[in-house]
Structure 1
Amino acid sequence: MIQKTTLQFLKDLKLNNHKDWFDANRKTYEAAKADYLQLVSHVLKGLVANDETLALLQPKDCTFRINRDVRFSKNKDPYKTNMGAGFSKGGKKMQLAGYYFHCEPGSSFIAGGIWMPMAPELKKVRQEIDYCFNEFKEIVTSKTFVNTFGALEQGEDVLLKRAPKGYEEDNPAIDFLKLKSFIASTPIGDEDLTSPKLVQTIVDACAKLQPLVHFINRGIEG
């Protein structure tokens, strides 16, 4: 579970997103950061029990900095208003699929897959889907997957209007081959964040994402 003080810090930060306030509340931030890292440690332990490809990860390697990179953004707020953690084979810097937990009051979620892979990795994922479409379709249309995640995200920012190079519009897998990201997610309410069952909720959701994650990584690493 996450402490209510951690959630309150994130709410306050959203209203006071500037360096002076952050510096004045740095001790509160450090306590919130430690609280979140403890949660990540428990989650990672549960994930490794189901997915041994994560066995070499350390909790500190899974969490993201709260500082935003504002160099190329119109939004110049210096801090994120969430705490995030990614769990993937090889760590955050590897171009592989994995699991993600996003903690933000009012907007928390569990997700998995791979977001905007680079061209070489994207080409391999598409090829794996094309070659093994029946297997892929069974994964993303299974009752277990659909009941929790619905479907893969298909917004305009992750979906090509035309078939990618090398594929035809009549390809049975074309709706998936047009994707630039392969992500599924499910929201978590604020009441769940402070529940003693939070770790198990995250671990259980990630277990349902495991077939998708392993399918993608098989394509990339194959």
Structure 2
Amino acid sequence: MRNSVLVAKIVEVCLKAFVELEKEHLVYSDLKPANVLMSRVGGQFDIQLGDLGLAGPEGSNSRWVQPEAFRAPEVWTGVRCFYKADVWAIAAMIMQRIDTNILGNADNIDKTLIHPIAWCLAKIMLLFDPFCSSISPPSDIDKALQDSFKLAQILTITKDNEDSDELLLQIPSFEMWADLARDAGVPKAVLDVIHLLAVPNPTKRPSAFPALQSPEYKVLQKAAAACERHF
């Protein structure tokens, strides 16, 4: 993910694919590294999306579509999967390739004790929504989801142990995480596109077509083109 050429191509292919799906009122709902098919011939990256097995009409999916690490917050809280959830997944997938445990449930200290919903939502809250104001809570009729949401809020302030000042979940704010990623060599243009797409409130998150028109996307493509010319 330090290669702006590769990231720019992945973002371009995903967004353009999701534009076409949105025209048909479909969602892809299964974006993950295993479904991003890559080859490099003659120095040029060729990227395609594979496995359309979970693609279907938006809003008709079962509740738990999307892999855990790339699942949009509104899907975690019980909203069916709509096209903007696919946009979230692009940013989440790139973040996870930069920092393996920044999202998802793989590092859960006790999967039998702490439900993946709470663990994953707590990470999203710490990264993007520390005041828990932009992620709508689950419906009142879904008591189990409501309990998991409340547990997620508790996890954002839970200490590692009673003698420690450190939080159980060592997840920084997105701004701090981005600074660390940039220090590690991730291009600013890549981080700006992540910030554009990873908006926890879906009403404020761009859909695929506006994202393709955004300044952040255009800067990433220009940075990628400059790298290609350089090499």
TM-score (norm 2): 0.30
Q: Which has the higher strand share?
A: 1
Normalising by structure 1, we get a TM-score of: 0.31
